[in-house]
């Protein structure tokens, strides 16, 4: 953004040599004490290493005891691992997630122990290497962002696409077929008056619950017992050549005079809920063996014709019982999904299920709330599709649809350039995956302001602040020790006056490092500040931590020209801190309202 007027090209005030000086006087200091202090201070130094991350999204699937976390590392230092503590009503389950590279975002999936009881919350604790040691950060969330959050429901859990040549028959209690599916038998056979028809599923996973259907024939009946239609999941587009299909089934008849046998037919069921071509005509198996308490294994071989499947079509295997007139009343039955031997349809080739899972949008964002003339702002969307890759994404920004670019992980983005004054809204996004599944959604509340006016900014420091922030320490430990210029509870000597032309501004603050004296360190988390826009005594009940990033420390936002900001600074140090003069540099930066520093 161009800067002019009050202070041309000046938007940052960096105080070179702006130091924090601590003169620590400790008496009766000897070598053994020094060694102990060094050993204890080492942990302080390690634990004060800056970690900045954010859990962008968190989903919970309580039925399957699964968590899915999207974690963003905002620092140039990798996070080596995370300790995950899942808290429930009865217990806490602890596990570890893998590495997250610098400036990267990644999805993590994990299962937790169901013994925790009802899910309550999840804690995410970072681990980093410091001085060749793996350090688990244990500060409060005010210093190290240990994220405590209530997770929200997962998008529907989607089964991975599979290919198989064996479709296992399922019972009612295992899996019922989804639409489209037949509403009755489609074999064309004439059925006995007391026969019962039903729908069941078949797919690549093993069945484990036995189900049985019995048909009763009287002494004059001839015909077929209407039984069961087994239905696959939706299948992918593919061509199936001619070949032999085999139905593996179990059954028996109550007496030899029943003369009953299994019978099977195969056909296609279309996505428009109508019957497709016949794959194999109805074919009779051998006569069922007699014995009221015995079920035997039978194979029914069917000669299949070549056919084509379109995406979403299904295959139906219809099973019946064929009967000729028995000499007396008797029973015949078929059984499937046996606990000792499964029943299934064997296809001549491998058949692939369709990928019907569409892209799911999980996050929408923009990286700046305001940009200037010809500056770029980044609109982002995160997209999940467990079964396929995303092939392309379109998004509508300010009424125009653009092609988005893939970033890291699940992120897609578009860099939009500011050319016209006004509010710029990200209102719609659509995405397609490699299986040609499309999804789209409207968006609300994701916008930036394009400001084509030039803004000039100037920052003036009070003389006390320009001369540095100083503490004099005569005893340890110290907790929230006021800097000399705070004047305790009186009027502070530390203030900044901001002037601007062309618009309001935001003011940021950061430090360049921990407080150091040679090899000795006081972690930056021990240095805090308070501020006030109207009260120059700066009541300091609420204190904020300094960090090494401007973006962590927006002091005030959207302030007009000629605004004065009053500051007070505070310091903590442990009893074992080594004596010395400790220094770091603190910087202030003023930018146009909504612009990133």
Last residue of a domain, one of 451, 477, 503: 451
Least confident span in 66-80, 86-100, 336-350: 66-80
**314 and 209 inside one domain:** yes
Six-digit token pair at 138? 């244990």
DSSP reduced 3-state for 520:
strand
Could you tell me the CATH number of the domain that includes residue 364?
A: 2.60.40.10
Separation CA 498–CA 506 (nearest Å): 10
**95 and 199 inside one domain:** no
List residues bridging with 520 in a β-sheet. 517
Total of domains in the chain: 4
**180 and 319 inside one domain:** yes
List residues bridging with 531 in a β-sheet. 567
Does residue 551 have a pLDDT over 50?
Answer: yes
Residue 80, domain member (yes or no): yes
Mode of pairing for the β-strands spanning 494-501 and 478-482:
unpaired
List residues bridging with 395 in a β-sheet. 402, 429
Q: Which structural domain, as residue segments, surrounds residue 382?
A: 360-451
**176 and 311 inside one domain:** yes
Q: Using 50, 70 and 90 to split pLDDT, how confident is the model at 472?
A: confident
Could you tell me the CATH number of the domain that includes residue 121?
A: 2.60.40
- Kindly report, residue by residue over 124-171, the tens digit of the pLDDT: 888 887 666 677 765 433 223 334 344 444 443 334 567 889 999 988
Residue 374, domain member (yes or no): yes
**26 and 88 inside one domain:** no
Separation CA 321–CA 191 (nearest Å): 10
**263 and 406 inside one domain:** no
Does residue 184 have a pLDDT over 50?
Answer: yes
Separation CA 353–CA 376 (nearest Å): 44
Q: Are 379 and 429 in contact (CB under 8 A)?
A: no
**436 and 498 inside one domain:** no
Least confident span in 130-134, 438-442, 500-504, 577-581: 130-134
Residue 386, domain member (yes or no): yes
Last residue of a domain, one of 424, 451, 478: 451
Could you tell me the CATH number of the domain that includes residue 196?
A: 2.60.120.260
Q: Map tokens 């202070």 to a residue.
A: 7
pTM of the model: 0.48
A 10 A CB-CB count for 55 gives: 18
Residue closest to 413 by CA, chosen among 435, 381, 442: 381
Residue 145, domain member (yes or no): no
Residue 144, domain member (yes or no): no
**427 and 547 inside one domain:** no
């Amino acid at each position: 953004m161009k800067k002019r007027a009050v202070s041309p090209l000046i938007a940052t005030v960096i105080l070179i040599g702006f130091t924090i000086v601590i003169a620590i006087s400790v008496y009766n200091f000897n070598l053994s004490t020094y060694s102990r202090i060094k050993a204890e201070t080492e942990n302080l130094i390690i634990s004060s290493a800056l970690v900045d991350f954010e859990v962008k999204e968190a989903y919970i699937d309580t039925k399957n005891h699964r968590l899915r976390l999207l974690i963003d590392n905002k620092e140039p230092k990798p996070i080596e691992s995370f300790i995950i503590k899942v808290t429930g009503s009865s217990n806490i389950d602890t596990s570890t997630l893998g590495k997250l590279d610098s400036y990267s975002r990644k999805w993590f999936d994990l299962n937790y122990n169901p013994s925790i009881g009802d899910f309550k919350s999840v804690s995410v604790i970072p681990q980093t290497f410091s001085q060749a040691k793996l350090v688990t950060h244990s500060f409060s969330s005010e210093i190290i962002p240990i994220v405590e959050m209530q997770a929200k429901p997962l998008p529907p859990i989607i089964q991975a696409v599979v290919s198989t040549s064996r479709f296992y028959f399922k019972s009612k209690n295992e899996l019922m077929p989804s639409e489209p599916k037949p509403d009755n038998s489609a074999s064309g056979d004439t059925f006995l008056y007391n026969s019962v028809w039903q729908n069941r599923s078949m797919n690549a996973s093993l069945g484990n619950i036995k189900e049985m259907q019995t048909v009763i024939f009287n002494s004059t009946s001839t015909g077929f017992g209407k039984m069961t239609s087994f239905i696959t999941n939706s299948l992918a587009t593919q061509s199936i050549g001619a070949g032999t299909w085999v139905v593996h089934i179990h059954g028996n008849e109550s007496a030899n005079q029943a003369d009953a046998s299994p019978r099977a037919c195969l056909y296609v069921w279309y996505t428009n809920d109508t019957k497709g071509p016949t794959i194999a005509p109805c074919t009779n198996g051998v006569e069922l063996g007699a014995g009221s308490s015995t079920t035997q294994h039978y194979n029914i071989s069917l000669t299949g014709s070549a056919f084509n499947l379109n995406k979403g079509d299904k295959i139906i295997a219809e099973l019946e019982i064929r009967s000729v007139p028995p000499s007396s009343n008797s029973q015949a039955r078929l059984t499937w999904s046996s606990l000792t031997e499964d029943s299934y349809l064997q296809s001549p080739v491998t058949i692939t299920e369709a990928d019907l899972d569409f892209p799911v949008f999980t996050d929408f964002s923009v990286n700046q709330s305001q940009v200037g003339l010809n500056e770029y702002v980044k609109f982002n969307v995160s997209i999940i599709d467990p079964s396929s890759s995303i092939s392309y994404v379109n998004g509508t920004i300010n009424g125009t649809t653009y092609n988005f670019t893939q970033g890291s992980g699940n992120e897609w983005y578009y860099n939009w350039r500011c050319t016209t004054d006004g509010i710029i809204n990200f209102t719609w996004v659509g995405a397609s995956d490699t299986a040609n599944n499309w999804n789209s959604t409207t968006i609300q509340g994701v916008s930036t302001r394009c400001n084509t006016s030039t803004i000039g900014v100037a920052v003036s420091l009070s003389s006390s602040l320009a001369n540095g922030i100083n503490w004099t320490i005569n005893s340890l430990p110290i907790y929230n020790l006021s800097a000399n210029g705070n004047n305790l509870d009186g009027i502070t000597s530390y203030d900044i006056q901001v002037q601007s032309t062309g618009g309001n501004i935001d003011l940021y603050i950061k430090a360049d490092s921990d407080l150091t004296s040679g090899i000795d360190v006081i972690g930056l988390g021990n240095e805090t500040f308070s501020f006030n826009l109207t009260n120059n005594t700066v009541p300091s009940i609420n204190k904020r931590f300094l960090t090494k990033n401007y973006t962590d420390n927006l002091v005030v936002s959207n302030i007009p020209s000629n605004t004065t900001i009053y500051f007070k600074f505070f310091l903590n140090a442990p009893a074992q801190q080594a004596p010395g003069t400790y220094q770091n540099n603190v910087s202030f930066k003023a930018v146009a309202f909504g612009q990133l520093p």
